[in-house]
Structure 1
Amino acid sequence: MAGGNFSLPAGQHPYYPMEVEIVGYLANKWGTLELLTMFSAGLAVIFSLTYAGVKRLRPNASTGDLTTIMWFVMCGCIHSFFEGYFAYNFRNMGGRQDLFGQLWKEYSLSDSRYLTQDAFVLCMETVTAVFWGPGSFVTAYLISIDHPLRYSFQLIVSLGQFYGDVLYYATSLFDHYILNVSYTRPEAAYYWGYFVLMNAFWIVIPGYLMYQSVMATWSAFAAANDAHKLLQRMGQNGSVKKTL
């Protein structure tokens, strides 16, 4: 094995379990380093354009808001285009040779379900592409204009991402430990690098953003309740003075 390329006899594939059937499988033309470089370059373009757009639309945006906007724009692009690509082409992923197809085949070394028309990953990725992709773009826009609904959308989208990722981990681990079926190659880089690390971002960051949203909502309602109680006391005091 070199750079994610495997030398295999004709008709065989490098995915686990080895006996799984992958319709129309073709080996990637590009190696791991090339694919990761192109993927990283795409993210750099997304971050750069987002940064420039936010600085123009809201020059005094805080570092925290700017970072959150960049996160949601990145999520919107990945969910809508990359994951949407999978949902649309799930029937013949094994033979895809365009950039997104080869990226999915590279990632699938850590989870072969993406090449076998697995019902769970198809449904999960379709929901993500249809709802959380557009939702991420809307959330980024609401934060960029500091709209009052920003925390509501941030909470909803982050909860959807978090829930989908938890189910993604849980179904794979259930199959591994209960059914003794592993979808990941034995090399540590695929399990810890692709499966664990790359997906952990959608556990940790949405978890923090949900906490932030709840605390912001709590503070807003607490302030509103305090203001309402203050107005009630003022009204009562005014009534007492009029009676006197």
Structure 2
Amino acid sequence: MLSENPRHPYYPIDTVIAQYTPNETSLLSLLTTASIGTTAVLSAVFILVRILRPSLSRADQIAILWFFLSGTMHCLFEGYFMLNHNRMGSAQDFFGQLWKEYALSDSRYMTADTMVLCMETITVLVWGPLCLLVVYAIFTRSSLRHPLQMTVCLSHLYGDSLYYATSLYDHYVHERSYCRPEPFYFWVYYFLMNFIWIVVPLYYFLQSVRTIQNAFERLETTSFGRKTR
């Protein structure tokens, strides 16, 4: 019979993770499967876009891949956490083991932390579908593309900032760290893997701001030209 609070590798060491069992699959196998699966899905999307909408620019094709990746990760991977947050310690399916590996950098995912659970739930139910709606807007050249793109990018910037701020506040103010002490887990898992969702959304947010700004400037120029005739 499993102990209610078995020993585990997560920090703080006094964290209670009910029914914890170590991953049965090696890290190399988990990362290889995730990489192959992600590459295969994105390649299929890229080929379909090239076939169905060959006139799209390369920049728009890359944007579709980014927002599709974000949307599917939010809805599927983070959706898994939302639905299974109370049994993460004992999970041995593929997504569960990936979360247990990532949680070495943030044990809040093993304890159904309120902030993390609420943030991920909003991400799954709102921002994930909105990312996929941006994909559709780019594909169909909808005029809603940039308002939607700007909204979802701002949500990523806010969500990541809040995610960093809450854990770092606990670390420096309450002296409670959720990350293992090895630099790898902090800089690669915690910092780098989340920082991507700041850098890329910031680029697309600024792209939308410039596009909307240029559209209004052209509109004002056209309106002024009509008035002076």
Q: TM-score range by the shorter chain?
A: over 0.9
Separation in structure 2 between the aligned mates of residue 53 and residue 132 of structure 1, nearest angstrom? 24
Letter of the aligned partner of 1:110 in structure 2? S
For 2:113, which of 107, 113, 118 is the aligned residue? 118
For 2:56, which of 61, 65, 78 is the aligned residue? 61
Identity of aligned residues (%): 46
Matches within 5 A, 1:72-221: 72-221=67-216
Equivalent residue, structure 1, for 2:22: 27
Matching of residue 36 in structure 1 with residue 36 in structure 2: no
Separation in structure 2 between the aligned mates of residue 165 and residue 184 of structure 1, nearest angstrom? 16
Q: Which runs of 5+ in 1 are unaligned?
A: 1-9, 235-244
Separation in structure 2 between the aligned mates of residue 204 and residue 228 of structure 1, nearest angstrom? 36
Once the two structures are TM-superposed, the CA of residue 11 in structure 1 deviates from its matched residue by: 2.3
For 2:219, which of 220, 224, 232 is the aligned residue? 224
CA-atom RMSD in angstroms: 1.0
Separation in structure 2 between the aligned mates of residue 117 and residue 60 of structure 1, nearest angstrom? 46
Separation in structure 2 between the aligned mates of residue 46 and residue 120 of structure 1, nearest angstrom? 31
Post-superposition CA distance 1:109-132 (Å, at most 9, x none): 000000011000000000000011
Once the two structures are TM-superposed, the CA of residue 46 in structure 1 deviates from its matched residue by: 2.0
Q: Is the 8 A contact 1:154 1:210 kept in 2?
A: yes
Report the TM-score when normalising by structure 1: 0.90
Separation in structure 1 between the aligned mates of residue 122 and residue 115 of structure 2, nearest angstrom? 11
Once the two structures are TM-superposed, the CA of residue 63 in structure 1 deviates from its matched residue by: 1.5
Q: Is the 8 A contact 2:6 2:18 kept in 1?
A: no
Separation in structure 2 between the aligned mates of residue 152 and residue 50 of structure 1, nearest angstrom? 23
Letter of the aligned partner of 2:18 in structure 1? V
> What is the number of equivalent residue pairs in this alignment?
225
Matching of residue 17 in structure 1 with residue 8 in structure 2: no
Q: Please say which structure displays the higher CA radius of gyration.
A: 1
Letter of the aligned partner of 1:178 in structure 2? V
Structure 1 residue runs of 4 or more that deviate by more than 2 Å after TM superposition? none
Separation in structure 2 between the aligned mates of residue 190 and residue 55 of structure 1, nearest angstrom? 38
Equivalent residue, structure 2, for 1:52: 47
Equivalent residue, structure 2, for 1:3: none
